[in-house]
Amino acid sequence: MWRGGMNIEIKTPEQIAVMREAGLVVARTLRVLAEAVRPGITTADLDALAEAEIRAAGATPSFKGYHGYPATICTSVNEEIVHGIPSPRRSLREGDIISIDCGAIVGGWHGDAAVTVGVGAISAADAALLQACETALWRGLAQARAGGRLGDISHAVETSVDRSGRYGLVEEYTGHGIGSAMHMDPPVPNYGRAGRGPRLRPGMALAIEPMVMLGGPETVLLDDGWTVVTADGSRAAHFEHTVAITGDGPWVLTAEDGGESGFARYPEIAEGSLGDTRKKDPASVPPT
């Protein structure tokens, strides 16, 4: 999972503060997009809305033009896991599920997050899938603590998915370091052993992103060179947040409240996850 020789970027508190600005742009954009999801809307409509929101905030979309990617967001519907390209020909239907992945740049610093939402009423199985994936994300985020190891995050994600039911967990696509570039060292797998990998230090920032399927873990890359789908056609969920490692605990830069409400949904991991940041406006707490 981890090899020596990585170049892991350590940010100053001032740089993390700018990443927080980018993270808030992403958070607000994803909230607007999730509220806009409905039967009949196209994924291209969502993409246009995302670009308008990001640019209105004075930020720049991270994804558009990245290695030739043609859109502002990734929209992955049903069996699509990640990197689905928005299209005016893809209209959402009642009962679909859609992952929306969004990135923004402020002052040269990146924020990156994703959410999966249902289109109208969805099946109980799909609802449980979304819950399993989001729960795994927050359990992973809770391990983003100074002094721990990267493998603690990976192990927490994997263990959470295993406890939630018989789900597939993507192995070949991972989370990543983030900061002055969108994808940086270290890779953050969604599986692994606790106590292994690089030591987590204040000033590190990571994008943690479980990808969970109703079926097996095998994936296929489509001919467009971007869209990754489940090999067995089963549905998939994808959730992601950017988190900063601070002396006070994880600071979720792409959550509008810094992660407070997310951790609070899981009382068994909430205590100690945010330290003093849970007692204040997270946006006002300087990272260490």
- pLDDT category at 109 given cuts 50, 70, 90 is very high
Q: Token digits for 30?
A: 């994803």
φ, ψ of residue 199 to 5 degrees: the values are: -70, 135
Distance CA 77, CA 19 (A): 28
Which pLDDT belongs to residue 67? 97
Q: Which of 25, 15, 42, 195 is nearest to 113 (CA)?
A: 25
Which pLDDT belongs to residue 162? 96
Q: pLDDT tens digit string along 84-95?
A: 999 999 999 999
Q: Has residue 284 got a pLDDT over 80? A: no
- pLDDT category at 286 given cuts 50, 70, 90 is very low
CA-to-CA separations, 240 to 26, 41, 136, 138, 255, in angstroms, rounded = 11, 23, 10, 9, 10
Q: Which of 96-100, 125-129, 261-265, 279-283 has the lowest mean pLDDT?
A: 279-283
Q: Token digits for 29?
A: 């954009």
Mean pLDDT of 109-114: 98
Q: Has residue 166 got a pLDDT over 80? A: yes
Query: pLDDT exceeding 70 applies to what percent of the chain?
Result: 91
Q: pLDDT tens digit string along 199-255?
A: 999 999 999 999 999 999 999 999 999 999 999 999 999 999 999 999 999 999 999
Which pLDDT belongs to residue 266? 81
Q: Which of 58, 179, 24, 204 is nearest to 108 (CA)?
A: 179
- pLDDT category at 282 given cuts 50, 70, 90 is very low
- pLDDT category at 277 given cuts 50, 70, 90 is very low
φ, ψ of residue 276 to 5 degrees: the values are: -70, -20
The mean pLDDT of the chain is 92
Q: pLDDT tens digit string along 58-77?
A: 999 999 999 999 999 999 99
